[in-house]
A and B are shown apart, each in its own frame.
Chain A
Amino acid sequence: MWNEFDKMVNQIFTLSQQSCVNNPSATPWAYPQTAIKVDGEEVTFTAEIPGVKKEDLSLDIKSNHLHLKGSRKAKNQKEEETLLHSERAKVDFDQTYKLPFAVEATSAKASLADGVLEIKMTRAESDKPLAVEIN
């Protein structure tokens, strides 16, 4: 039974490797890698986008949607250069992420350093739950 299992795992592994080889732009995982963290009334969106410059990135926030668009140009590869081996993602991304609550777009603070984009936003006043007193 374990042999069967091993075989299955091997098959899956080989297949996934093959698909990467056939299509160099395919990545075995989502690109970019992102995370959304909530801390009270604050939400932090983090994305790993190595090699993406500030000017090649666009970001807009509306209510509880965060739209991130960017491209990573084949990094200053010159004509006489040959790409021998390729693992890094070479795809553009254009994605909308849903935040857990509506945010004040004007409160957003974004920073890009070492290939990591971090956006801190606070919850919109209009979205905050209203406590109702019970008499």
Chain B
Amino acid sequence: MTTTEKTADKATNKATFLPQVDVIETKQGYRLLLDVPGVTKEDVKISFEKGKLIVAGDISRGLDQGAKYLRKIKLSDALDTGSIKAKLDEGVLDVAIAKKPEALAVQVEIN
């Protein structure tokens, strides 16, 4: 977030909420589940900057209309950041990130 954005937020007096998150490890990678009620697909922005995944959203309905969600999550180097996929379903944002091939568990066969 740049300084100008911060001042703009102060001027309009809009609150920023930290969405709650669950982190799930799968075989291929990780899934982040974020609670973002009141946000539409068009109003969610997911970006990756300086090793951090940044999830931002503008709340357009419900209890906190006009407020924002913002959560920054540091990701490990072992993740393939080019593989980030996300979907939004019933106010829950599901972000999937794959592990880099070298970080995947390898089963070693014993002869």
A binding-site residues for B, Cβ under 8 Å = 33-35, 46, 48-53, 75, 77-78, 80-89, 112-116, 118
Cβ 8 A contact of B37, one of A53, A83, A85, A116: A116
A sample of 10 cross-chain residue pairs with beta-carbon separation below 8 angstroms, ordered by A number, consists of: A52-B90, A82-B25, A86-B23, A87-B22, A88-B21, A114-B39, A114-B61, A114-B88, A115-B37, A118-B61
Within 8 A of A (CB), among B12-52: 20-27, 30-31, 33, 35-40
A89 to B21, CA, bound (A): 10
Are A87 and B92 in contact (CB-based, < 8 A)? no
Are B20 and A114 in contact (CB-based, < 8 A)? no
With A80-B27, A113-B61, A114-B91 known to touch, is A49 a contact of B37 (CB < 8 Å)? yes
With A85-B23, A87-B20, A88-B33 known to touch, is A46 a contact of B63 (CB < 8 Å)? yes
What 0/1 readout, one digit per residue, does chain B (63-92) give for beta carbons within 8 Å of chain A? 100000000000000000000000011111
Q: Please name all residues of chain B whose beta carbon is closer than 8 Å to the beta carbon of A116 when the two chains form the complex.
A: 37-38, 61-63, 91
B15 to chain A, nearest CB (A): 13
Are A51 and B35 in contact (CB-based, < 8 A)? yes
B residues contacting the other copy or chain, number (CB 8 A) = 27
A86 to B32, CA, bound (A): 10
A34 to chain B, nearest CB (A): 8
B binding-site residues for A, Cβ under 8 Å = 20-27, 30-31, 33, 35-40, 60-63, 88-92, 94
A118 to B21, CA, bound (A): 24
A46, A81, A82, A114, most chain B CB atoms within 10 A:
A114
B30 to chain A, nearest CB (A): 8
B84 to chain A, nearest CB (A): 17
Are A75 and B33 in contact (CB-based, < 8 A)? yes
A33 to chain B, nearest CB (A): 6
Top 7 closest pairs, chain A to chain B, by CB? A115-B91, A50-B91, A115-B37, A116-B62, A85-B23, A87-B20, A48-B37
Q: Please name all residues of chain B whose beta carbon is closer than 8 Å to the beta carbon of A77 when the two chains form the complex.
A: 24
With A33-B63, A53-B90 known to touch, is A114 a contact of B38 (CB < 8 Å)? yes
Are A51 and B20 in contact (CB-based, < 8 A)? no
| In the complex, residue of chain A having the shortest beta-carbon distance to the beta carbon of B30 | A84
| In the complex, residue of chain B having the shortest beta-carbon distance to the beta carbon of A83 | B24
